[in-house]
Chain A
Amino acid sequence: MLQQSPGPLSRRTALGLTGLAAATGLAGCSVESTVDSLKAPTPSTPAAPGNADLRLASRVASAFLSADDLAPPPFTKLRKRQLRRYPDTKAATLQSGKQRWQPLEKGLVATFEDAAVTARDADLVRLFASMAAAQRQLLRARGLA
């Protein structure tokens, strides 16, 4: 399906995702500059375009922050570089770290790819797409894919 790129986000996440894309170095990628304070829509009101992306970003953050508990340094360092201005993750739901780290890291590829396909904001789409590619690169470099 073809589409025009949607407009920028207009709300700020309550989860503190303001630095999610701003620090990434992606061309024109700045959630910081485009996101304003979040107000949840009333149940009878269709979600504002930005809200779906913010929920998505929260779910993705939960996934990779959970993986950090078990991941070896190359993976945690990658995410640290990617999210070094990620200011507040306290609202993200972290999963119990009882799995092996390899499946978690491999699973993040699909998590990022799915997020890139689902996101509406063009900057977030690029962010997730590039994170998926970075994850694939690192897995391959370490002989895991």
Chain B
Amino acid sequence: MSGISALQRALASEHAAVYLYGVLGGRTSRGDQPDLAASLQAAYDDHVAARDALVEHVVAAGADPVGSAAAYDLPHGIDSAAGVRRAALAIERSCAATYLDAVPAVAGELRRFLVTALGDAAVRELSFGGGPETFPGTKG
């Protein structure tokens, strides 16, 4: 996988995360589920920041950043708080896997950015019911 391809895949993953967190946040009541709502908002903000940073990196590398899809398939079962948590956890695990796959394709500070993003996703998993893993970003 080339460096550009790796960055574009990470960007595509962040586009999806931003979209889906927007949906999940819209289905979560701040009054009934304040902690979950706060976690979703924090995650949304993190993914927006990561998306914007990746756009800058792709542009700096001389490529056109991949755009977001018009819509994404919504996870099933997000009509309950538990379902929203499961969906959010799945988003973070997917992002972590994407970042882990992308990390070796770039070098220097760009690689450090991806390593940090992987760790960020792994930490966010904890907010949505995930537990410490032996190898975040993998199925192991």
Contacts and interface: CB of A to CB of B under 8 A. Distances in A.
Partners in one complex: yes
A24 B116 CA distance: 20
A1 B21 CA distance: 30
Interface string B27-41: 000000000000000
A3 B107 CA distance: 6
A78 B134 contact: yes
Size band of the B side of the interface?
35 or more
Given A3-B105, A24-B135, A129 B100 contact: yes
Interface of B: 1-4, 7, 61, 96, 99-101, 103-112, 114-116, 118-119, 121-123, 125-126, 131-140
Interface centre among A117, A131, A138 (most CB of B within 10 A): A117
Interface size class of A (residues with CB under 8 A): 20 to 34
A60 to B, nearest CB: 14
A140 B2 contact: no
Contacts of B2: 2, 4
B123 A134 contact: no
Contacts of B131: 141
Nearest to A125: B104
A133 interface: yes
B136 A137 contact: yes
Contact of A5 (B7, B104, B134, B140): B104
A113 interface: yes
6 contacts: A82-B134, A117-B107, A126-B137, A129-B118, A134-B122, A140-B126
